[in-house]
Amino acid sequence: MHRFANPARFGRLAHTLLPWLWTATAGLFAAGLYLALIASPVDYQQGDTVRIMYIHVPAAWIALFSYASMAGSNIVGFIWRHPLAFLGAKAIAPLGAGFTFVCLVTGSLWGKPMWGAFWVWDARLTSMLILLFLFIGYMVLVTAFDDAERGLKAAGILSVVGLVNLPIIKFSVDWWNTLHQPASVSRLGAPAMPADMLTPLLIMAAAFFCLFATLAVVRTLGEIDQRKLQIAQARLIAESKSGGSVGTVRTVHQH
Instruction: Please give the model's pTM, rounded to 2 decimal places.
Output: 0.86
- The pLDDT value given to residue 4: 57
Measured CA to CA in angstroms, residue 16 lies from 19, 22, 148, 219, 227 at distances of: 7, 11, 29, 15, 22
- The pLDDT value given to residue 150: 92
Measured CA to CA in angstroms, residue 130 lies from 64, 101, 107, 226, 248 at distances of: 12, 11, 15, 30, 55
Query: Which amino acid does the sequence have at 66?
Result: S
- The pLDDT value given to residue 5: 65
- Say if residue 44 is exposed, middle or buried (CB neighbours under 10 Å; 0-12, 13-18, 19+): exposed
Domain map (residue ranges) of the chain: 17-177+195-224
Residue 158 and residue 134 in contact, taking contact as beta carbons nearer than 8 Å: yes
What distance, in Å, lies between the first and last C-alpha atoms of the chain?
60
Residues (pLDDT < 70) of the chain are 1-5, 173-192, 243-255
